[in-house]
Amino acid sequence: MMETSLQYLLFPCLLLCCRTNEVLPAALTVSPSRSQFFKRDSVSLSCEEDNSSAGWTVRRNTTKGTRTQCGDGWGIPSASTCTISFLLSWDSGVYWCESREGAASSSIQLTVTGGSVILQSPVLPVMEGDDVTLSCHTKTAPSNLPAAFYKDGSLIRTEPAGHMTLHHVTSSDEGLYRCSISGHGESPSSRISVSGSDLPVAMVMTPPTKADQGLDKDYDDVTTEHHF
């Protein structure tokens, strides 16, 4: 009985690990780590890679072009890092890493605002169960002014110190967030995505065993959270 359960747990986990390596050959990291920027800010985008000979470069889709490569009219490439030293509104768009052979990392959305307020939120999907802190900044004033936070267009709450923590996030926290600071204005919206941990995703791929009612219950719980 015990051996059977273990098989069901381990086999899909091995599948998942192999699959993950193929799907995510490089990760794009952003410095400073946020998805909203003021005009004239600078940003560095790096492809974190395990094989530099694969020739990873940063590419983007904006209103000015699709799949354009760093150095091709925007950004300064250096190894697998791309620096944009003077952001303008039309640098807003989707960025990702791509190898010479066409393998792509997951993509991130960057937004450059001409306004005077930005929301600082995680660039990459956050893990289910984590705490996530959002903060609202103006370009000039100290960063701890009172701010109102909105999700999908509705006010969540106003925070006196300009930052808000979402505790133990679940998929119900996913959505478009923005903030505003009285007398300064409103930030653009950015999406927050929540991803499940690896183990529950692997367990969804496992056929439920009638042998163990306790495990069956876990599968049911997990399946309601993760749909492919």
Residues that bind ligand NAG (CB under 6 A): 51, 53-54, 61, 66-67, 94, 96, 101, 107
By C-beta, is 107 or 193 nearer to ligand NAG?
107
Residue 50 C-beta: closest distance to ligand NAG, Å: 7
Which DSSP state fits 218?
A: H
DSSP characters over 145-191: S-EEEEETTEEEEEETTSEEEE-S--GGG-EEEEEEETTTEE---EE
Q: What is the CA radius of gyration of the chain?
A: 21
Residue closer to ligand NAG (CB basis): 45 or 166: 45
Smallest gap, in angstroms, from Cβ of residue 64 to ligand NAG? Answer: 12
Shortest distance, CB of residue 179 to ligand NAG, whole angstroms? 25
Smallest gap from Cβ 1 to ligand NAG, in A, equals: 41
Report, in Å, the least distance between residue 61 CB and ligand NAG: 4
Q: How far apart are CA 22 and CA 26, in angstroms?
A: 10
Strand order in the sheet with 81-84: 26-31, 43-49, 81-84, 76-78
Shortest spacing between CB 86 and ligand NAG, in angstroms: 24
Determine the Cα–Cα distance for residues 45 and 59; give it in Å rounded to an integer: 10
Between 51 and 223, CB nearer to ligand NAG: 51
With respect to ligand NAG, which residue has the nearer C-beta, 46 or 180?
A: 46
Residue 211, CA distances (Å) to 8, 12, 69, 179 in order: 11, 18, 54, 50
Among residues 141, 148, 214, the alpha carbon closest in space to that of 187 is found at: 148
Nearest to ligand NAG of 62, 171 (CB atom): 62
Q: Specify the residue, 99 or 121, whose C-beta has the smaller distance to ligand NAG.
A: 99
**What is the spatial distance between Cα 72 and Cα 76, in angstroms, rounded to a whole number?**
9
